[in-house]
Amino acid sequence: MRTGVWLVGARGSVATTSIVGGLALRAGLAGPTGCVTELPELRGPALPSFADLVFGGHDLATTPLCKRAEALADSGVIPGRLVAALPDELAAVEQELRPAPVGATQADRAAAVVSDLTAFRERHALDRVVVVNVSATEPAPAPHPGHADPEALRAALTGPDEVLPSSSLYAYAALLAGCPYVDFTPSTGLRLPALTALAEQARLPYAGHDGKTGETLVKSVLAPMFAMRNLAVRSWSGVNLLGGGDGATLADPAANAAKVRSKQRVLGETLGYLPQGGSRIEYVEDLGDFKTAWDLITFAGFLGTGMRMEFTWHGCDSALAAPLVLDLARLTAAAHAAGHVGPLSELGFFFKDPLGTPTHSLAEQWARLVDFTRELHAGRDGADDHAG
């Protein structure tokens, strides 16, 4: 099952790490640490193998992919020996990267993306292409009448307005090209009525949004712990210090607000009430591709006794996100192959702000994911039987 992985933001840290990692896995140079789909509970025949993945993508930037990879190696995100061992493979991917689409209207630019996606699929004889958004977080867009339904959207895009934010224009183009879409960022992406309706019409699945890679991952196990023990969380305050490109983007208050809202949701929905305190994102250039989050939780036990917990998470976002990007591409491809349509709420495990599912508990999300992949594999075994 040859599968294209089309990365929006293909020269960014997450995408570059995904590509280097995918190539290294294919070449047997690295193991699948961090790849959820390689765990015994999820592994199976329905998923395309790492060798089946072909990478391509768009990016506004033009820095050569191998330079980006070397920079990531210098800053400790990926081992330099892997970059050094994969020059031809990286050069081959470089050939599949395209600049930002041009055109007079957003409709023109969407058409250019569709053309890139279609050509990519045909050039490599791919069964399907999964589009994954890993580009920088956008501010929330202004409302526009074109967001309401597919017809209104189609009409509006031919005019002069910037109807859709970039992430949504890519989602739109993906749907037109018949590609499943995954949003790994907190940007709008496919979450507009016009686009979800279009996905239904096109019989395409999609997944999102906002990859759960750090502080929120920890929250999604600690908050259920407090809930299961009937402990009253009085306050939960967090600060995220991060460098890297995304850090600078998130220093923008509008983008920050979107991300922070998505971060606090897990608490309200898991605990059933919103504790005091908030979560905050700050840019500290020196941290580079690493992120340090600190959270203080104050809680009450029996008879009101006050207690507290602190944690510090010092993670490399790209190294945490990249294997999940590969997982999501594999799972979404398998879901598409199995005929799933609409929001893949079974993939909530991967996201801070999961589509179409109320639970934020990692354990519950895991249980759903295990069930979902079991069904995919079972169906695939059937398919294989038929094929045989």
Q: Which C-beta is closer to a second copy: that of 38 or that of 116?
A: 38
In this complex, which beta carbon is closest to a second copy, that of residue 112 or of residue 284? 284
3-state secondary structure the chain: CCEEEEEECCCCHHHHHHHHHHHHHHCCCCCCCCCHHHCCCCCCCCCCCHHHEEEEEEECCCCCHHHHHHHHHHCCCCCHHHHHHCHHHHHHHHCCEEECCCCCCHHHHHHHHHHHHHHHHHHCCCCEEEEEECCCCCCCCCCCHHHCCHHHHHHHHCCCCCCCCHHHHHHHHHHHCCCCEEECCCCCCCCCHHHHHHHHHCCCEEECCCECCCHHHHHHHHHHHHHHCCCEEEEEEEEEEECHHHHHHHHCHHHHHHHHHHHHHHHHHHHCCCCECCEEEEECHHHCCEEEEEEEEEEECHHHCEEEEEEEEEEEHHHHHHHHHHHHHHHHHHHHHCCCCEECHHHHHHECCCCCCCCCCHHHHHHHHHHHHHHHHHHHHHHHHHHC
According to the binding rule CB under 8 A, does residue 17 interact with a second copy?
Answer: yes
Closest distance to a second copy from the beta carbon of 189 (Å)? 23
Q: Is residue 319 within the footprint of a second copy (CB under 8 A)?
A: yes
Nearer to a second copy, 91 or 225 (CB): 225
239 binds a second copy (CB under 8 A): yes
Q: Which stretch binds a second copy (CB under 8 A): 44-52, 62-70, 279-287, 335-343?
A: 279-287
Using CB under 8 A as the binding rule, the residues of this chain from 213 to 232 that contact a second copy are 217-218, 221-222, 224-225, 228-232
Applying the rule CB under 8 A, the residues between 23 and 42 that interact with a second copy are 24, 30, 32-36, 38-39
Determine which residue in the list 101, 362, 372, 380 makes contact with a second copy, applying CB under 8 A.
362
> By C-beta, is 218 or 376 nearer to a second copy?
218
Nearest distance from C-beta of residue 374 to a second copy, angstroms = 15
Q: Which of residues 177-216 bind a second copy (CB under 8 A)?
A: none
Q: With respect to a second copy, which residue has the nearer C-beta, 200 or 366? A: 366
According to the binding rule CB under 8 A, does residue 323 interact with a second copy? yes
With CB under 8 A as the rule, give the number of residues binding a second copy: 74
Distance CA 183, CA 349 (A): 14
Residues 66-85, mask of contacts with a second copy (x by CB under 8 A): ----------xxxx--x---
53 binds a second copy (CB under 8 A): no
* Residue 90 beta carbon to a second copy: minimum distance, rounded to whole angstroms: 14
From the CB of 276, what's the least distance to a second copy, in Å? 5
Of 313, 352, 355, 360, which one interacts with a second copy (CB under 8 A)? 313
Which of 130, 171, 182, 316 is the binder for a second copy (CB under 8 A)? 316
